[in-house]
Structure formats: C-alpha cells, structure tokens
Amino acid sequence: MRFVALATDYDNTLASNGRVAESTWPVLERLRQSGRQLVLVSGRELGDLRTICPRLDLFSRVVAENGGVLYRPDSGEKRLLAPPPPDAFVRALHERGLHEFSVSETLVATMKPYDRIALDAIRELGLDLHVVFNGDAVMVLAPGVTKASGLAAALDELGLSPLNVVGVGDAENDHPLLDACGFSAAVANALPMLKAHADMVTTGAAGRGVEELVAALLEDDLASRASRIDRSRVLLGQRSDGREAASVSLDAYGTIALLAGPSGGGKSTVTAALLERLTMAGYQACIFDPEGDYDNEGSLVSLGDAHTPPPMDSALHLLARPGQHVAVNLLRVPLIERPRYCAALLSRLQELRVRTGRPHWLVFEEAHQLFPADWGMAAQSLPIALETALAVTVHPDQIAEPFLRQVNMALVTGNKPSATVAAFASTLGKPVPRLPLESDSLERGQLLVWETQMPASEPYLVSVEPGTTQRRRHHRKYAEGLLIPERSFYFRGPEGRLNLRAHNLVLFLEIADGVDSDTWRYHLQRGDYSRWFGDVIGDDELAREAQAIESERGLSVDETRGRIRAAIERRYTQPENPSLPPLRAG
C-alpha cells in the first residue's frame, strides 16, 4: 500500500457551514478499516473543532490553528508548535480601535479588510510575523508555521512519510499542505489556483469531494493517477538511440528493476545516481549490502561489518524514522546463510511497509547471493509482491526465478549486453528481444533498458544522468572484507606457476611482502596493480599513484613495494586483526 494516510482540511473541504454530512462519516470509517490513518489539518482553534466536530476520535492527529497546535484525540494530549502572539501586537490592535479579532494560543484571527490594520501594526512594531488568508478569514502567526509544518509534526509522531500521505483542501492556506503530500487533491469548490496546483480535482464539492477521493483511494490506492505526476518519477537519463530526445524515468512506486552487467561496467555509478535522486525526493531506502560497499554517510547508517553481523532490530528501529536510510552489511554473515537472513529481514520489512508504506525502496546488491537460483525456499520466502525494489547483479541467470518473475524493468550495463539480456530472458523462458545495433558494447554511462512486462517491448539505449556526487567506497570492505573470486587479485608470476589470491587489501599487502621479486616485478610491469585498484577497488586516485610507480624506471623492487604499501595505507586503515570471518560448509 502506497498511501497510508489522508490529511484533510475542515471548513469547506470535509465540512460545509461547519458541519460534516452524515454520509461522510461511514466513508471515513471505511478508510480507517483499510489500515489507513486520518489527520485533520485546520485553521480553526482546537476548542472550536472539539465543539463542532463530533467524531474527532476518527483522526489519529488533529492539527489546529493553521499548524500551531497538535492534538492527540486518543489521549487528549495537546502540544503547542508555535509561540503565542506577542503582547505588544495584541495591544497595538486594540490601540488602533480593532475589536473584531480573537487571540488564541498561537495566532491572532480576524477578517478582511482588517488585515490592513494588522499589517500596519506588524510593520510599525518591526515584528517577525506573517499573515495567512483563508477566504475572508485572516490569521497572523509566527513565520514558518503553516499547515505543512503542523502536518510534519503529526507525521513525525506517527512515523509516516509525507510521500505516503494524500492531502486535500480548498483555500489559500492549503497550498503548503498540498505541497507537502505525496498526492494532492482539491475539492470542486476550491479556489481556481489551488485546483490548478492539485494532482486531482474532485467533481463533488466539500464533503462529497472527500468521499470521492476516499473511494478512489480504496479502489486502487490512486495508482492510475499518482503514476502520472512528476514527483512520482525518478529520472534515469535520456534516450540515446537516435530517436527524438526524451527523458526516461522510473516509477518511484511499483518499479522492480534488475541492474545487471559485468564488473566494472558502471552498475555502482547507476545505483549511486538513483539513490541520490531518491534521497533528494524524500524517499527512504533499505540496502542489502553483501560486500560492505556502503558506509555511514549523510542520512545513511551502515549496520554490521566484517566482525559483527547486522542486528535486525536495529535496522527496523532506524527505519522507523522516515528520513533514515539503512545499509545492512552482510560481510559477517556466512555466504550460505545470507538468503535465510535476507528472507527473515524481508518478512519484518513487509510488516513495516504495510503500516507505513516504508522503506520506499529495497536495494539488493549482489542479488545472486541473496536469492540464489538453487535456493529451494525462494518461492516460500519472497513476498508475493516486492512493490518497489532494485536488484544489482553480475549474474542474472543465477538469481531465483520467483524473484526474476517480479522484475518489470531490466537495466543492462557493460560489454556484451546481449549476453546479459539473453541470460535473463532464458531464465524466465522469454524470447530474447531484438537489441539496437549500436548496443553491442555499452560505454560507461550508457544503459540498455528493457521494460520486460510490456508486450512486444524492445530494449532501448539510455545515457544515464549522473549523480552530483559519487558514493564513497567502503574502506573497511576493501581493507579487510571478502571480495568474491572474480574481483580478487591473483599473484600468478611470469610463468603462471602461482595462484595466490588476495581478497582484500590487507592480504594483498601480506602476499606482496612475501612473493619473490620476479613475481612482483611481472605484475608491476604489466600495470596489474593500478588496474585492480581502479577497476575493482574503485579508487581512481590510488590507481593513478600506483600507475606512476609502475611507470617510473630505476626503482628497485623493494622501493616499489614500499611506495605502493604507503599509498594504500594512507587511504585505508589497517585493522589490528585482519582475520576473516569463518565460512561454514554448505
């Protein structure tokens, strides 16, 4: 379920002439029975609402005084979200002969045309107050206090994201409310400017319009309407197949994408750009991170490391905050146990999603480790509908079929994308689609996009819109983690007699100190060290420094070893105990 709450204005939206029609209450009760919550957001004083609204008990929270007061009907608790009106301002209104106004806990209310008197008093006293209009009603209150700020406080208590809320109103002071919500509606009697601003305009006025909106919510969770609005889309890039330029976006809700391609093909760049744009739009992500690629950064918290498995309770506790992203580092979880761990956490995340609609996105790095094709419990362990997810893999044919059948968009990177597409299609028994001629080898920053569940859909090329910042590489992973075999470094020597695998930088340095001079020099002269640092470790600065060492003539073997060691240790902290977690036999 995407929209888990409805935030509604009271006067001329839910109510007409201060009263809610009897036909409206059963509709609101049905909305509550669907598992959704109601929030009342009004410019009225709380005392007025208690008097004229007989069913405040239906609302999880009440925001009164245009965002100044927050009320919990179930407990009777009240919290002020704004300071009281300044005494000097109230005295100034009396001194100017204004008697047609009221003073509440957080605002002064009057009517047009007395707003001019209020504005004169504010200007002469040099006060930091702002004036809000609601039809002929005028409210004066502290700056920054709006229906949106009041709703934010209510949602914070409820643990909900505004992206999972539908807002509905009718007047000028409802603009902030509608702007704050993931979907906005205006009733038929709303001001023309509010209608033009809303995602949906009801055919019915006031309460009838709210009933109409609730019916649409219950029918399909507004899926047919919400998918068309810009803030429900996440930019992927621009078509680059010779056709007319067009932006390509993903649905922010309902996309289950498979991002596949060989190592070094740009999957991390695409993932980082998408996560950046999701974060900027307010979406929350939970990342399953088998290789420890993510570190604590900004609003992202990484749980677990090479020595400690990630606690599920901590992940769920952090995800209870709508703005918090979580990466679940599985380095300490043995490979054979990762599918079981993933399934257990997924089950608990689904419960959170039912209540809150969050986390909005699930990201499965190295998805073939989490949902392996030979895992017999895949069908029973996967949710019937993942709703929204991104799976990243080198091996689409090694992912369990029940997972792949939910994929509705394939994003392919790197060399020989035809092989990746064929592996995905054959696993599902689908015919291999015809590919664009120019897609034989994709450049970094290019994607082949295939909308897999669209009839007769043919893949097309997209130039990815890059993010403004690159994701910082997880130093601990490369220092002491466990890289998969195809991403490890192998000391083989000039005649290929050795096969010494370094699956992290600590082991690389240990083996480098112990190998004979001919082996060290062989890889040095081939540029193997700088290539591994750049293509696998993803550290271009380290790669450039190593390349300079590789190309400098006249250095002894020991000098080159020492310089490369120093370059690594400047960037990666060596742990006291570099031992790896034990792996259990399958």
Q: What is the pLDDT of residues 323-364, one digit of tens each?
A: 999 999 998 999 999 999 999 999 999 999 999 999 999 999
- pLDDT for 380 beyond 80: no
DSSP letters for 472-523: PP-HHHHHHS---GGGSEEE--TTS---EEE-SHHHHHHHHHHS-HHHHHHH
What's the pTM?
Answer: 0.82
Tokens of 387: 């709703």
Average pLDDT of the segment spanning 84-113 = 93
Q: What is the mean pLDDT of the chain?
A: 90
- pLDDT for 577 beyond 50: no
pLDDT of residue 268: 86
310: left (phi over 0), alpha (psi -120 to 50) or beta: beta
pLDDT of residue 481: 66
78 has which bridge partners?
A: 71
Distances (CA, A) of 258 to 23, 408, 410, 449: 46, 8, 5, 10
- At residue 580 the predicted structure's pLDDT band, cuts being 50, 70 and 90, is very low
pLDDT of residue 537: 81
- At residue 440 the predicted structure's pLDDT band, cuts being 50, 70 and 90, is confident
- What is the C-alpha to C-alpha distance for residues 278 and 9, in angstroms, rounded to an integer? 29
pLDDT of residue 49: 96
Lowest mean pLDDT among 191-205, 406-420, 466-480, 531-545: 466-480
- pLDDT for 217 beyond 50: yes
Lowest mean pLDDT among 74-83, 202-211, 416-425, 548-557: 416-425
Residues 458-473: tens digit of each pLDDT: 889 999 998 876 544 4
pLDDT of residue 576: 41
> Is residue 283 within 8 Å of 2, Cβ to Cβ?
no
> Is residue 118 within 8 Å of 93, Cβ to Cβ?
yes
> Is residue 539 within 8 Å of 474, Cβ to Cβ?
no
> Is residue 438 within 8 Å of 463, Cβ to Cβ?
no
- In three-state secondary structure terms, 260 is strand
- At residue 79 the predicted structure's pLDDT band, cuts being 50, 70 and 90, is very high
- At residue 581 the predicted structure's pLDDT band, cuts being 50, 70 and 90, is very low
Nearest C-alpha neighbor of 332 from the set 377, 388, 292: 292
The CB density around residue 485, as the number of other CB atoms within 10 Å, is 8
- At residue 486 the predicted structure's pLDDT band, cuts being 50, 70 and 90, is confident
> Is residue 413 within 8 Å of 447, Cβ to Cβ?
yes
Average pLDDT of the segment spanning 291-298 = 85
Cβ partners under 8 Å of residue 573, min gap 6: 475, 476, 479
How do the residues of the chain divide into helix, strand and coil, expressed in percent and rounded to 5?
Answer: 40, 20, 40
pLDDT of residue 586: 36
Average pLDDT of the segment spanning 431-444 = 77
Tokens of 432: 């291999």
Fold matches, 83-144 and 232-464: no
Q: Which fold has domain 83-144?
A: Hypothetical Protein Ta0175; Chain: A, domain 2 (3.90.1070)
pLDDT of residue 468: 77
- What is the C-alpha to C-alpha distance for residues 236 and 277, in angstroms, rounded to an integer? 9
DSSP 336: G
- At residue 414 the predicted structure's pLDDT band, cuts being 50, 70 and 90, is confident
Cβ partners under 8 Å of residue 220, min gap 6: none
Spatial strand order in the sheet of 69-72: 77-80, 69-72, 61-64, 37-41, 5-8, 165-169, 183-186, 200-201
φ, ψ (nearest 5 deg) of residue 242: 90, -10
- pLDDT for 245 beyond 70: no
Tokens of 89: 């301002």
The residue ranges of every structural domain in the chain are 5-79+145-226, 83-144, 232-464, 475-571
pLDDT of residue 522: 96
- At residue 579 the predicted structure's pLDDT band, cuts being 50, 70 and 90, is very low
- pLDDT for 575 beyond 50: no
pLDDT of residue 56: 96
pLDDT of residue 480: 66
Alpha-carbon dihedral of residues 103, 109, 114, 115, nearest 10 degrees? 120
Strands (DSSP E) contained in 240-299 are: 247-251, 256-260, 285-289
Element (H, E) at 564: helix 557-571
- As assigned by CATH, the class of the 232-464 domain is alpha beta
Q: What percent of the chain has pLDDT over 70?
A: 94
Strands 233-239 and 183-186 turn out to be unpaired
Spatial strand order in the sheet of 130-134: 102-103, 107-111, 137-141, 130-134
Nearest C-alpha neighbor of 502 from the set 414, 550, 568, 585: 568
Average pLDDT of the segment spanning 103-115 = 94
- What is the C-alpha to C-alpha distance for residues 563 and 530, in angstroms, rounded to an integer? 13
Average pLDDT of the segment spanning 190-205 = 96
Q: Could you name the CATH architecture of 5-79+145-226? A: 3-Layer(aba) Sandwich (3.40)
Tokens of 391: 């799976």
Q: What percent of the chain has pLDDT over 90?
A: 71
- pLDDT for 48 beyond 70: yes
- pLDDT for 386 beyond 50: yes
